[in-house]
Structure formats: structure tokens, C-alpha cells
């Protein structure tokens, strides 16, 4: 399976992940927050989703591995239930 080899802060709003197949991907942290895959976000109303859409100031506060398949990313808005599987992350890349 493709796993992150290296995760770094590319700039204030961008994470960089180097995957073990050598692919380098940049991730807009606001885009990651808006696409949070947790159950609470998946079930939220369109109005709540719009509120997230407007918050361009959100930033990660913590990134850690969850088992061998995902990263948990905590954000400055207090949200810390987003578990991004590596598969999800690969799909979310390439948006910049
Ligand atoms: Zn969420």
C-alpha cells in the first residue's frame, strides 16, 4: 500500500506529503478541512457546510498516524475527529 514517507509544512496553508512511491503532493489545509471524512461532517447540513466553506483561516494543529492506514488531523476550529485514510488523501490531492 502507498504510505506517506514524509509529511511537512510546505507553507502556511499547505501540507506536503511525499509518498513511498516517490509522488510528491501538496494539500491545501482548508480543502482538507472541508473534505473531512468523519461521520459528523458527512451528516452535516448544507448550511453548516457553507460555514466551513467560509473559514479560510482554519489550520491543522496536530497530525498523527492512525494505525498503518490513516492520518488524524486536528484543526484550529477544534475539530479533531477527521481520520484521513491514505486512500482518501491520494484522492484529495492534485487540487492545487
Ligand atoms: Zn469531520
Comparing 8 with 50, the larger pLDDT belongs to 8
| pLDDT(22) > 80 | yes
Q: 50 CA distance to ligand 1 centroid (A)?
A: 14
Comparing 54 with 26, the larger pLDDT belongs to 26
| pLDDT(54) > 80 | no
pLDDT at 1: 75
Q: 49 CA distance to ligand 1 centroid (A)?
A: 11
Burial class (CB in 10 A: 0-12, 13-18, 19+), 80: middle
What is the overall mean pLDDT for the chain? 88
Stretch 34-55: mean pLDDT: 78
| Topology annotation, domain 4-92 | NE0471 N-terminal domain-like (3.30.2020)
Enumerate residues 6+ apart whose C-beta is below 8 A from 95.
27, 28, 31
95 vs 4, 7, 58, 87, CA distance in Å?
18, 17, 17, 15
Q: 9 CA distance to ligand 1 centroid (A)?
A: 21
Q: 52 CA distance to ligand 1 centroid (A)?
A: 10
Amino acid at each position: 500500500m502507498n504510505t506517506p514517507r514524509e509529511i511537512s509544512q510546505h507553507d502556511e496553508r499547505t501540507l506536503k506529503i511525499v509518498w513511498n512511491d516517490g509522488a510528491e503532493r501538496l494539500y491545501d489545509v482548508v480543502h482538507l478541512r472541508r473534505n473531512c471524512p468523519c461521520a459528523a461532517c458527512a451528516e452535516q447540513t448544507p448550511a453548516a457546510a457553507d460555514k466551513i466553506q467560509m473559514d479560510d483561516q482554519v489550520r491543522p494543529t496536530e497530525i498523527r498516524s492512525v494505525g498503518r492506514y490513516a492520518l488524524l488531523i486536528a484543526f484550529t476550529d477544534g475539530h479533531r475527529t477527521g481520520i484521513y485514510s491514505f486512500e482518501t488523501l491520494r484522492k484529495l490531492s492534485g487540487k492545487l
